[in-house]
Amino acid sequence: MKFIRCTLPAALLSLSIVAFAQSDMHKPDKPAPSEAQKSFEQMKTFAGEWEGPVAVPEMPSMSGGKPLHVSLRVTSRGNAVVHELQEANTPLDPAKFDHPVTMLYVEGDKLNLIHYCDAGNRPHMVGTMSPDNKKVEFELVDVSGGTKFGHMHHAVFTYIDADHHLEDWTYMMPGDKPIHAHFDLQRAK
């Protein structure tokens, strides 16, 4: 009887291990990440604080001035990236300084960008990754809110290395006149 009491727990433990191992064998393999998810994972690597100059060819007076500060952070348990832009070394003052916020997230098979613009609208864009995995380009899908003062129309994020990336934003002025802004950003130390 003592033999049964000692070996029964060991036998039951062995059976449960075998049962769990067999149940794991029947689980389907985790699906490969979609292109949208791969692009989003690339965007997450930009998390951090960035600074650098802006060049606006159509408006030379805006080029070469004060550097920009960009903050990118992963939020919502890894389901969203927040991109905040402002002039470097300025206080946060939504009544005075530019401070647009952009949200990036995956829904279905699309990498989405919604830009909460100082013009009072919310352009929605969808992004695709370049074949070399170094560039995510966003194309306009639609705009919520008015476009009386123009709207953001296009964006490109280019990965150079862990401490350097480029951002190119195209703003469509009234009358469909594009203005391009090129940010050359270095990770702030």
Q: What is the mean pLDDT of the chain?
A: 86
In a domain? residue 147: yes
CATH number of the domain to which 99 belongs: 2.40.128.20
What's the structural domain count of the chain? Answer: 1
pLDDT for the residue 2: 56
Instruction: Output the pTM of the full model.
Output: 0.80
In a domain? residue 13: no
In a domain? residue 15: no
In a domain? residue 67: yes
Q: pLDDT tens digits, residue range 72-111?
A: 999 999 999 999 998 888 877 767 667 899 999 999 999 9
pLDDT for the residue 20: 47
In a domain? residue 17: no
State yes or no: pLDDT of 53 exceeds 90. Answer: yes
User: What range defines the domain where residue 122 resides?
Assistant: 35-187
In a domain? residue 6: no
Q: pLDDT tens digits, residue range 133-162?
A: 999 999 999 999 999 999 999 999 999 999
- Answer yes or no: are the C-beta atoms of 115 and 122 closer than 8 Å: yes
* Nearest Cα residue to 160 out of 61, 42, 55, 71: 42
Give the H/E segment covering residue 114.
strand 110-116
Q: Under 8 Å CB-to-CB from 188, ≥6 apart: which residues?
A: 48, 49, 50, 51, 69
